[in-house]
Chains A and B, each alone.
Chain A
């Protein structure tokens, strides 16, 4: 990597001195090891997800909800379409039966010598 090492100003040198690393508190390593050995504590930390994971999890949940809404909507449309087709078939059957019945009646009337108008 092409790194620029520009000389520091006096102020920057002061800043560097001011920001010298400080020692961790006494017994820090022991406390970390102690926590690492406690499964409860670790589980608790797993629940406290880092921000980046939270963002991804939030995105995944939102995507799942959207997919759920889309699927529900599609299923509802499909059911409505099927119902409409069923009603249409029933209507056509009813029309057909009515037409056949009227034809029978007309035929019987003609045989009896009755002539209908038109």
Chain B
């Protein structure tokens, strides 16, 4: 038995931001994220009678969103999964939109860049980071959601942070250098 329409709309409106954000940050693609998020809610609609408690719905939606998003990512495979160790500084520098950063200001530029750098992380690390820093979940909660040992989740988070820190440092050095060059250039 599916959920009644009014109740279903309420659930979508309550959780759409969370589900869409997880899908977007994991897949890195707006259209794919919407498709994934829609699929997640349709699955909820079909399984409505089994997911009744609000906390359980939230947990269920997060779990299904992560699984569907990673499935979509693998299907799409337009962004080949780079091994963390294979990250190339040159490639990262090439991707960085310095002009956009200068328009945004340094604080926002860092944030925009971090969001972008996230897409270069291997899938498992990316999922852990999204759940920890977007959903503000504790490692123990992430471990339950992903059915992984807590130690694995913590290890993924540590690796992800290390990689992001390193890449962010490279990026910001370039950003500062470009900003200084622009400042000293004659008008």
Q: How far is the CA of A14 from the CA of B165 in the complex (A)?
A: 11
List chain B residues, Cβ under 8 A from A25: 20, 30, 34
**By CB atoms of chain A within 10 A, which of B2, B19, B25, B134 has the most?**
B134
Docked-complex contact A33 and B114, CB < 8 angstroms: no
Contact pattern, A 30-41, Cβ under 8 Å of B = 1, otherwise 0: 011101100000
Q: How far is the CA of A16 from the CA of B140 in the complex (A)?
A: 18
Docked-complex contact B111 and A17, CB < 8 angstroms: yes
Docked-complex contact A19 and B133, CB < 8 angstroms: yes
List chain B residues, Cβ under 8 A from A20: 134
* Number of B positions contacting A (CB below 8 A): 47
Min Cβ gap B107→A in Å is 9
In the complex, the chain A residue whose C-beta lies closest to that of B10 is: A29
A3 touches B (CB below 8 Å): yes
Docked-complex contact A35 and B38, CB < 8 angstroms: yes
A114 touches B (CB below 8 Å): no
Cβ 8 A contact of B110, one of A14, A51, A52:
A14
Q: How far is the CA of A52 from the CA of B39 in the complex (A)?
A: 15
Q: How far is the CA of A4 from the CA of B153 in the complex (A)?
A: 13
28 contacts between A and B (CB under 8 A): A1-B140, A1-B144, A3-B139, A3-B140, A4-B139, A5-B138, A11-B164, A11-B168, A12-B133, A14-B111, A15-B114, A16-B136, A18-B112, A18-B113, A18-B118, A19-B134, A20-B134, A22-B20, A22-B21, A24-B16, A24-B20, A25-B30, A28-B16, A28-B34, A29-B9, A33-B12, A42-B42, A45-B42
Shortest beta-carbon contacts, A-B, top 3: A18-B114, A18-B111, A21-B21
